[in-house]
């Protein structure tokens, strides 16, 4: 009789284990986290007008010209952001204030430009509440 009980318990454990394995296999199991990941919407580009401004240079003769484009998701909010003239003014003000604080030497190297890009990103991200700032692009960057 004890042998029959043990066989019954083992059979039940195998059935339960097999059922659990089948559930995880067919219902997702470990892949469930992948399904729960947020599907990212495509980003669009918000282009700011070209900046032409003096740099932080004692001689006052050095200037920068740059074109900044912002990668924003979802793409559908771009027209709304472009229409918000106060927001665009704030975005431009932050970039302009930041570039005016830079010396030509700070912007001359690739590392300096990358640090500048990160600073722009950190200043602009909190300002964009209807959308998500994903990236900052330079399509034109000249220091003279």
Over the stretch 118-138, which tens digit does the pLDDT of each residue have?
Answer: 999 999 999 999 999 999 999
Q: Domain check: are 70 and 134 in the same one? A: yes
Quickly count: other Cβ atoms within 10 Å of residue 24's Cβ.
13
Q: Domain check: are 70 and 126 in the same one? A: yes
- What CATH number is associated with residue 113? 3.30.479.30
User: What pLDDT is stored for residue 114 in this prediction?
Assistant: 96
Over the stretch 81-90, which tens digit does the pLDDT of each residue have?
Answer: 999 999 999 9
d(CA 65, CA 54): 9
> Residue 22 — very low, low, confident or very high, per pLDDT cuts 50/70/90?
low
Higher pLDDT, 45 or 22: 45
**Mean of the per-residue pLDDT values of the chain:** 83
Q: Which domain holds residue 134?
A: 44-143
Our count of domains for the chain comes to 2
Q: Domain check: are 10 and 50 in the same one? A: no
> Is residue 23 scored above 90 in pLDDT?
no
Query: 135 with 71: CB under 8 angstroms?
Result: yes
Peptide bond into 74 cis (omega under 30): yes
Higher pLDDT, 37 or 87: 87
Over the stretch 43-76, which tens digit does the pLDDT of each residue have?
Answer: 899 999 999 998 988 887 899 999 999 999 999 9
Q: Domain check: are 6 and 30 in the same one? A: yes
Share of the chain above pLDDT 70, in %: 72
Summary count for the chain: helices (H), strands (E)? 6, 4
Q: Domain check: are 107 and 134 in the same one? A: yes
Q: Domain check: are 24 and 66 in the same one? A: no
Q: Domain check: are 110 and 130 in the same one? A: yes
Q: Which two tokens stand for residue 61?
A: 């003769």
Q: Domain check: are 77 and 17 in the same one? A: no
pTM for the model stands at 0.70
Q: Domain check: are 124 and 84 in the same one? A: yes
Q: Domain check: are 61 and 23 in the same one? A: no
Q: Domain check: are 96 and 128 in the same one? A: yes
Q: Domain check: are 60 and 113 in the same one? A: yes
> Residue 35 — very low, low, confident or very high, per pLDDT cuts 50/70/90?
very low
d(CA 55, CA 57): 6
């Amino acid at each position: 009789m004890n042998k029959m009980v043990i066989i019954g318990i083992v059979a039940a454990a195998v059935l339960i284990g097999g059922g659990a394995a089948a559930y995880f296999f067919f219902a997702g199991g470990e892949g469930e986290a992948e399904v729960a990941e947020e599907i990212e919407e495509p980003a669009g580009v918000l282009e700011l007008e070209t900046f032409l401004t003096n740099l932080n240079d004692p001689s006052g003769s050095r200037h920068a010209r740059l074109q900044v484009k912002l990668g924003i998701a979802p793409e559908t909010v771009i027209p709304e952001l472009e229409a918000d003239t106060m927001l665009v003014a704030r975005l431009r003000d932050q970039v302009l204030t930041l570039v005016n604080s830079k010396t030509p030497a700070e912007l001359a190297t690739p590392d300096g430009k990358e640090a500048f890009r990160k600073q722009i990103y950190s200043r602009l991200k909190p300002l964009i509440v209807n959308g998500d700032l994903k990236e900052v692009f330079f399509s034109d960057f000249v220091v003279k």
